[in-house]
Each structure stands twice: as C-alpha cells, then as structure tokens.
Amino acid sequence: MPELPDLSLYVHAIRARCLGQPLLGVRIANPFLLRSVAPPLDAFAGHTLQDVGLLGKRLVFGFPAEQFLVLHLMIAGRLHWKPAGARLPGKIGLAAFDFAGGSLTLTEAGSRRRAALHAVSGHAALAAMDRGGIDVLHADRATFAAALSAERHTLKRALTDPRLFSGIGNAYSDEILHAARLSPMRQTHQLGQDEITGLHTATQETLRLWIDRLRARAGDHFPEKVSAFVDGMAAHGRYGQPCPRCGTSIQRLVYAQNEANYCPTCQTGGKLLADRALSRLLRDDWPKSPEDLDDYKAARKD
C-alpha cells in the first residue's frame, strides 16, 4: 500500500500538472470504485482544481465550494499520467480524471477491487473520513509521545495504526524501527524517555529522507514505479540480506497478512523473534540467535 513518502510524491507530481486547471470530467470504468456521490461526479466538471493534499493515506482533490474528491489507493491502486483522453487499460483500468493537459488514470492490479473514490461536500464531511492519526512529519515530541502511549501495542502495530499515526504502513515502519534500533515487538509502554525521543527523531528523519529520495529519483517524470520494495531500504524487503549497519542477515516475522523485517543485532539484542505458530511447533528447537539459525538451516540441509 502506498505510504506517506509515496503519496507525497503523487501529490507533488499532480500539483505540478493539474493545479489551477479545470477538471473536464471523470471517467469511471468500474462502478465499484465509487463509494459516495454527494455531490455527483458531474458537479465537478468544469471546476478548477484548487489543491491536492493528504488525509491519512487518502489523496484529497479540492475544488471550489468545498467540494472534494477523496481517493484511497488501498494496496494495489496506482496512478499514471497519460495524454489527454487516453484510453483506460482493459482489466486493471478503474478511472480517469481528465484535464486539458493530460489524464490522471487509476489502475489496480489483482482480481480484488479495493480502491475507493468518494465525492463529498463540505469540510465536515471531509473531516468525518479522517482516521485521527497525527501528522507525524510535523508533530512535536510531546504530541508523538501522547499518540504512542495512547494504547498498549507493539511498536510495529502502533506505528501502522491510522488512528494513532497518519500515513505509516508496513514498509516504512520497518525502516523507522531499524533507524531507531528498536524491536518491532517491543511494547509501547516499555519505552524509556530517551527511546521515545529517538523514535520520534527516527520517524521524521526516515520519512523525510525517503520523500527526498523518491522525489529526486522521479525528477520531472510522473512516478510510475510506486512500490513497497525500494532499492536502498535498510530492512524492509531485505530478508536474508546483510544489515547495512552491522552486516547481520535481516530477519522477518510473518503474522496475519503482514510481516516485520528487522536486524537481530541492531534491534533485538541478538535474539530472533518467533511467531506464535512456529514457536509452538518447534518449542525448544526454535533458534534463539542468528548463529543458532545458521546451524538449524545447515542441519536441515544435512
């Protein structure tokens, strides 16, 4: 799912191409995309795009008279910039937002259609869609600490909870926790004051670093390769590869539909994290350290 750095890249690219231009119309190829029509889509035609911003992981297109189009890309939704009036691709094309200078098209890979478009009127209706997470890029330490301690969770779960922190998902939570040298399974209430300060700093520095990196890589081009797996990440998507800080193999913890990628040396004091199912299965045979894991793998090969 696109996260804050990816979505910020989209915002920057759309503003450069569409801000101040009238929306000629919206073409909907899949009716399941459209979740609310108050006002109807026809009401936006001919009106100037005044702003593009974020509401959590949603893109918000602002028009006159407090009318908004709110787009949630979910996991597989992606945006593209095409020549004006470009035809949508058959199976994956969901919608096109037509401007005089080009068409912003929406595609969604896979068989399930989860992306959602809402047409809403008024700031109150827009605010009702806010999950409540803080703006992590601009939150001071006190605000960050209050959100972190609002509920007892693991750090991984807390950072990815949209009710607590806005725009952080599976990928960048791994990067943040690696930068902060904290275990993804550490409980929020166990952190000391210095650790909270370090996590606050790591969160803002990591997200800003990747916003700058992605923007530099895209240059003047529209971002076409938005992915959760990006070259240069320290932990996410790098299972089995060396930690760029210490050289230890990056490990992963798979649970539910997510996974946590981490460095045992930098983040967990040399211990391997085990999900409950594997722990119950292997019991005392579960490797406790990277060295034990290497021995375990070697024994299985034999």
Domain with CATH 1.10.8.50 in the chain: 141-218
Into which CATH architecture does domain 141-218 fall? Answer: Orthogonal Bundle (1.10)
* CATH H-level superfamily of 4-127: MutM-like, N-terminal (3.20.190.10)
The CA–CA distances, whole Å, from 244 to 15, 232, 270, 284 equal: 35, 9, 16, 31
Per-residue pLDDT, 296: 40
Confidence (pTM): 0.90
Report pLDDT for 287: 54
What pairs with residue 72 in β-bridges? Answer: 58, 116
What pLDDT shows up at residue 171? 96
Position 234 scores a pLDDT of 97
Q: What is the pLDDT of residue 1?
A: 85
Residue 115 DSSP label: -
CA distance 199 to 205: 10
In this prediction, residue 291 carries a pLDDT of: 53
pLDDT value for 268 = 96
Pairing between β-strand 67-72 and β-strand 102-108 as defined by DSSP bridges: unpaired
The parts of the chain modelled with pLDDT lower than 70 are: 256, 275-302
Residues of the chain with CATH 3.20.190.10: 4-127
Structure tokens at 186: 């550490």
Per-residue pLDDT, 297:
46
